[in-house]
Amino acid sequence: MTGQVESPLRRVVDGIDRAAGVIDRASRVAMGIALVGILSMLLLQVAVRYILPFPLPWVEELAVYLSGYIAMIGTSVCLRMGYHLQVDLLRDKLGPRAVLYHALIINLVVAGFGYFLLKYGIRFVELGAGQTSPSSYFPVALGRLSMPVGGGLLIIQALVLSLKAFDDLVNGPRDPYKIRS
Amino acid sequence: MAIIFILLLVLIGGILLGVPIFAAMGLSTLVHYLDTGRESTLLILNQRLFNGVTSFTFLAVPMFILAGEVMVRGKLIDRLLDVARAFVGHMRGGLAQVNILSSIFFAGISGSGQADIAAMGSTIVPAMVKDGYPRGYAAAITAQSATLSPTLPPSIVMVVYGAVFGVPIAALFAAGASVGLFMAIAYMILAYFMALKYELPLHPRATFRQTLNAVRAGLAPLGMPAIILIGIFGGIFTTVEAASVAVLYALIMTLIVYRTITLREIGPILISAAVTSAAVLIISGVGLTFSYIVAIQHIPQTILGALSTLSQSPFVIVSLIIVVLLIAGMFVGRTANILLFGPIIIPIFYELGYSPVHTALIIIIVLGVGHLTPPVGGALLTACLIGRCTLPDILKYMWPMIILEIALAVVIIFTPALSESLPAFFDLGGVSR
């Protein structure tokens, strides 16, 4: 213990970050389950063609809907992990404080894209209300829901990363190796 | 014209400023709204993105990634090294040849160059150093041989390319197999001459029994590419189905037959594969939306028109595109570059008379050269990290390899038969101009 009193802002930001971490872990588990779902559906499709005497039209639809959820939920997970493809040439040239400003701004830009996904994703879901997929087994809104869900999660994680960068600007960096844009 | 300028400004500016590429591409597509002024445009873009991430063809991506992850975590790849050693270990610079051959085998399991360097490099580089090879050379040849992965089936890059640009994936796999093997032979010839120059060690040939034992032990990992290739080219499975069967095979081998993975490890493997898949799927989905905007804004035609004012010669135009791809390949991975440049340059190639599979192979191979090129080539830097050597160490040996890569790219550009013969033979499509 250093005896230093942690600033209220840092305590709040850390609390928010922990909550975002819980969301992140839940997102990962959901993605893993969706992957098992896709694998099961595809294997079932092969089995249906070669073993069962009748086709199952919903198998393919469920698999692609799950793929949508992996992609859209995973976008926020990848952001938090720093796993998205990006060019770091500028960031690598910046000083310690400039890196924080950079992280703050870049993540706000990403949150802006998340807002597009959320707002028009909701509209997209609303437009599909009452419709069923071509196989008539699923409401299309169920698949389309991945768009606003992904957008919402992306906004949360991007804003948390921005907030952490802001906190680091105000209170000094907590761990420079964990800061990324 | 102003819209195209703003779109490219948002895209390039965003990427250079460090915005994740999926977001930079996504935001650049929103510029189309400025052109139409209708809010419905934004709804359509959202719908396009949804159609992209829920494309059936893209399902092969998470499946191939999961299959590779299971095989790598199941530690079955060491057996590939033994098979390669049994066949080519006695040649001059035997371990360099083993490195190349095992990359061919590994490509059939993973489909990712970076995974190849990480998985194979951590095993073979120390073995090469122990055998007296310079560390820089061991890392350099690991980087070079790993560039085969995106060329050979089941390349993730090719799955994405085929799904986004409407080229039959089986045709791309067939074209990639012939080009990849051609490149591998060229690598092995260069490795032979470099072994002579650096007086690298020579080992006795494996006995028949040793070879037989290695092959028997390697049947499990080698079975996976066999299932994929026979399944797809034999018309038994679609590419997506073959990918799911490959996962099942990998699980049976690692969980039941060899028991190199426990049930407890399956959760983290699934999550890791899902995260990797998500990064590829979102950028591919956004890439499809980007392609749509590029097409309706007639950007390829505008750029071709601009290039035509510089020169009417198709050779000069293609050369200019190749230079752009070489430079871009140094900074960004192949998948991202294909999604960024593909919508613009692929129609130009088609306009100049190149077939879809030939165009694909040209783009994939040329981008691979950039991966090996300093100062920021992705394969180069990963090989430095895995091989624990400095950039100057690896570059000392890398230059002949980069020159060979450029020479091979030129041969592939001017020899359409290299890319088109196998797809045409199997009647897989993608070869008509």
Give DSSP secondary structure letters for chain A. ---PPPPHHHHHHHHHHHHHHHHHHHHHHHHHHHHHHHHHHHHHHHHHHHT-SS--THHHHHHHHHHHHHHHHHHHHHHHHT-S----HHHHHS-HHHHHHHHHHHHHHHHHHHHHHHHHHHHHHHHTTT-B-TTSSSBHHHHHTHHHHHHHHHHHHHHHHHHHHHHHHHH--S-GGG---
| Confidence (pLDDT) at B77 | 73
| Confidence (pLDDT) at B368 | 87
- Reported as a single tens digit per residue, the pLDDT across A20-57 is 999 999 999 999 999 999 999 999 998 888 887 777 88
Tokens of B283: 């950028």
* Whether ipTM exceeds 0.95: no
Is A58 an 8 Å CB contact of chain B? no
Is B267 an 8 Å CB contact of chain A? yes
Say how many CA atoms lie within 13 Å of A140 toward its Cβ.
19
Mutate one of B25, B45, B54 to test the A interface: name it (highest A CB count within 10 A): B54
Is B255 an 8 Å CB contact of chain A? no
Is A46 an 8 Å CB contact of chain B? yes
| Confidence (pLDDT) at A177 | 45
Is A82 an 8 Å CB contact of chain B? no
- Reported as a single tens digit per residue, the pLDDT across A64-118 is 999 999 999 999 999 999 988 888 888 889 999 999 999 999 999 999 999 999 9
| Confidence (pLDDT) at B371 | 80
Q: Return residues 120-139 of B near A (CB < 8 Å).
A: none
Q: Which residue in this structure is represented by tokens 């090996």?
A: B372
Phi then psi dihedrals of residue A132, to 5 deg: -115, 160
Identify all chain B residues contacting A109, using CB atoms and an 8 Å cutoff. Answer: 14, 19, 23, 27
What proportion of chain A, given as a percentage, has pLDDT over 90?
69
- A20-to-A57, A157, A158, B70, B182 alpha-carbon distances in Å: 38, 7, 10, 29, 49
- Residue B263 buriedness (CB in 10 A; 0-12 / 13-18 / 19+): exposed
| Confidence (pLDDT) at B112 | 67
| Confidence (pLDDT) at A4 | 61
pLDDT, average across residues A142-158: 97
Ranges under pLDDT 70 in chain B = 110-112, 375-376
Tell me if residue B132 falls in helix, strand or coil.
coil
| Confidence (pLDDT) at A180 | 44
Query: Nearest-CA distance from B274 to chain A in Å?
Result: 6
Is B287 an 8 Å CB contact of chain A? no
Identify all chain A residues contacting B271, using CB atoms and an 8 Å cutoff. Answer: 28-29, 31-32
Q: Do B333 and A85 touch (CB under 8 A)?
A: yes
| Confidence (pLDDT) at A5 | 67
